[in-house]
Amino acid sequence: PLCGFQVIRCKAAVAWAVGKPLSMEEVEVAPPKAGEVRVKMVATGICRTDENLRQGLFPNSDFPIIPGHEGAGIVESIGDGVTSVKPGDKVILLCVPQCGKCIFCLNPESNFCLKAHMFETQCVLPDKTTRFTCKGQQIHHFMWVSTFAEYTVVPDYAVAKIDAAAPLDKVCLLACGFPTGYGAVINAAKVKPGSTCAVIGLGGVGLSAVMGCKAAGASRIIAVDINSDKFPKARELGATDCINPQDLKKPIHEVLIEMTGYGADYTFEAVGKLDTLAAAMTSCNLSTGMCIMAGDPPAGSMLTIDPMLLLTGREWKGTMLGGWKMRDSVPKLVSSYLEKKFNLDVLNTHTLPFDKLNEGMELLRAGKR
């Protein structure tokens, strides 16, 4: 396709309706308008949130839609007024933007943004239109980024320029999975050296949390998953104990309390299910424990807990993307990766061509990535 201000025809994976498999289609991608950037996607990760979207479990999402939110690529063209990137720059797309102007962006303790999906739908661009069409029909964006397309258009505050030396097929995971898990430990919990941690769920987010616990100097890192195939990698990354709840005769929270005395100093829920969130909450230390919710529970679900769990001093805290201000932090995370400060490559379990994306989604559903 010709670059510049022309429509580009390319492949994209479209979710036409809730519960339907992704359909590989030819789509038209319109040029960027003022303040927008069109990106040629080079690599995308597959995250449980994409599957939640397909199943209709992600809030305020309109179909048909192009999923994907862990992407890296190269700027193809820019709209009027864009100064942060230029054509040819390597970039990572940001599913939580950083406008730099709202009350949250201006607060150094917040990494949220009023432009984020919970406040303003990101299924259309800020002018309330889409840049995708297929078979004469408008196709919605997912959190503005829609990385399951060969080209995509995003607002300039949802993209970060990164080091030209960065391998895009590796650093695309810095768009969501790794910063969410690692940042849950480093930024949200601020884990202290010598402490005891439990990580429930050993997907990309959970394994990144294990890495964060190790880097923070935790003395004991208990990794929990119903898939024991995850345990060798968890141990390689620093887990000291690995537990499969299906092998137990007691509820997992009771076992974790027995193992740690009065509960772990920090627990991390990286599954996004209500029962695992309740277990993580119950199994942290009853007085000084902190439970961090890093998973993505189904929209609209309700959790019932005994408030007495909190009365003795426990803390329950959420984190979005690990507390990083993404536009500022992603370039620094890329530099840290290039300096080998953490092992991101271990999270890359499979590499598939774009037209095998449904196969990758099936690997995710089967717990093999």
Q: Express each pLDDT in 159-168 by its tens digit.
A: 999 999 999 9
CA distances from 297 to 203, 294, 328, 330 (A): 15, 9, 27, 25
**CATH fourth-level superfamily of 189-318:** NAD(P)-binding Rossmann-like Domain (3.40.50.720)
For residue 50, the 8-state DSSP code is H
What amino acid is encoded at 175 in this protein? A
CATH for 8-177+323-366 is: 3.90.180.10
What is residue 244's three-state secondary structure? coil
- Which is it for strands 220-224 and 241-243: parallel, antiparallel or unpaired? parallel
For residue 101, the 8-state DSSP code is S
Question: Which pLDDT band holds residue 120 (cuts at 50, 70, 90)?
Answer: confident
Q: What is the pLDDT of residues 98-114, one digit of tens each?
A: 999 999 999 999 999 99
Q: What angle do CA 179, 58, 309 make, to 5 degrees?
A: 70
Q: What are the domain boundaries of the chain? A: 8-177+323-366, 189-318
Q: What is the pLDDT of residues 244-274, one digit of tens each?
A: 999 999 999 999 999 999 999 999 999 999 9
Query: CA-to-CA distance for 283 and 291, rounded, in angstroms?
Result: 9
Radius of gyration of the chain (CA): 20
Q: What is the pLDDT of residues 176-192, one digit of tens each?
A: 999 999 999 999 999 99
- Arithmetic mean of pLDDT, 30-45: 97
In this structure, the number of other CB atoms found within 10 A of the CB of residue 12 comes to 28
Q: Angle between the 274-282 and 252-260 helix axes, to the nearest 10 degrees? A: 20
